[in-house]
Amino acid sequence: MKTKSYMARIMAAPHILWAILFIAAPMLFVLYYSFTDASGAFSTENLRLLLDAKYLTIFLRSMAFALVATVICLLVAYPLAYAISRATPRAQKVYMMLIMLPMWMNFLIRTYSIMAILEDNGFLNTILNSLGIPSVHIINTSAAVIFGMIYNYLPYMVLPIYTVLSRLDVRLLEASADLGCTPAQTFTRVVMPLSRSGVVSGVTMVFVPSVSTFYISQKLGGAKYDLIGDSIERQFQSAYNYNLGAAMSLVLMVIILISMAIMNRYSDGEGGLVA
């Protein structure tokens, strides 16, 4: 027994080392920088600065954009995942492949492609004009930023919902119909409750990256809609204010932890990707 646990420890060593180096240490650095000033002395100045209206606006905007993107993702992804899960096994594979395909492309290239599509003289307006519909101005608006988020993170919503729906036993739907449920009642009373864990996973997997995203807003929002991710990037890359950047990261982490805690309250703890 003793040798076994000894072996187990040796086996676990690389992973523990990995976790210390790349998870625990960076967190400690974030904490350290958040509560120090440029000279390294203890300070709460960074966090106090974040209460400034300028930064509060950024935080609230980030959360609002992420929330809208998440809700739209859910509304699009659920029917999509449901339709895919009811297709033949062969078709299911093809559809899921199509959903995953954009993720094989680089994030920057995807974002640039969306720019090209949404531009005033872009692909979208060319098509609209050829159909005799007047051009729409989308690029450099908040709609473009949210569209970018939806486009990038939709697969993360489809995947977990599809997973729970495809595992749904058809006989449960038959049992529901047998007991008197119309198709709509079957959906609300059986399908929805049983796919909740997938929805919770999907919402978490879309909201978390959306709220911390950067670059999308710079490229699609014309730098008009500063988000937390962009601000953090700027503090580290341009302003060299590591302390303020770290403080922002810390607050963002807290926001994410709180939203995940809220989401997990709605999860039944089964089938979901968030434990």
Partner 1 sequence: MFFVMNSQFYCGFNRYKRMCINSKKMEKNEKLIELRGITKEFDGTPVLTDLNLYILDKEFVTLLGPSGCGKTTTLRLIGGFETPDKGDVFFEGKRITDLPPYKRPVNTVFQKYALFPHLNVYENVAFALRLGKVAEKEIARRVKEMLKIVNLEGFERRNVEKLSGGQQQRVAIARALVNQPRVLLLDEPLGALDLKLRKDMQVELKKIQQRMGITFVYVTHDQEEALSMSDTVVVMDNGVIQQIGTPEDIYNEPKNAFVADFIGESNILDGIMHADKLVEFSGHTLECVDGGFEKDEPVDVVIRPEDVDIVPLGSVPIHGVVNTVTFKGVHYEIIVDVQGFKWMVQTTDYAAPGTEVGLRILPDEIHIMKKSKYSDLYGDYSTYFDEMDKSGAEATGDEN
What are the residues binding partner 1 (CB under 8 A)?
169, 171-172, 174-182, 185, 189-190, 193-194, 268
Q: How far is the CB of 94 from partner 1 (least distance, A)?
A: 21
Between 120 and 268, CB nearer to partner 1: 268
Q: How far is the CB of 96 from partner 1 (least distance, A)?
A: 23
Question: Which residue do the tokens 């989308």 mark?
Answer: 138
Longest dimension (CA), the chain: 78
Q: How far is the CB of 57 from partner 1 (least distance, A)?
A: 41
Between 40 and 269, CB nearer to partner 1: 269
Between 143 and 181, CB nearer to partner 1: 181
Between 210 and 267, CB nearer to partner 1: 267
Q: How far is the CB of 258 from partner 1 (least distance, A)?
A: 26
Between 57 and 188, CB nearer to partner 1: 188
Q: How far is the CB of 78 from partner 1 (least distance, A)?
A: 17
- What is the per-residue burial (b if ≥16 Cβ within 10 Å, else e) of 121-153? ebebbeeeeeeeeeeeebbbbbbbbbbbbbbbb
Alpha carbon distance 262, 63 (integer Å) = 14
Which residues fall within 8 angstroms of residue 99, CB to CB, at 6 or more apart?
Answer: 80, 84, 154, 155, 158, 159
**Is the Cβ–Cβ distance between 97 and 159 less than 8 Å?**
no
The alpha carbon of 11 is separated from its chain's Cα centroid by a whole number of angstroms, namely 33
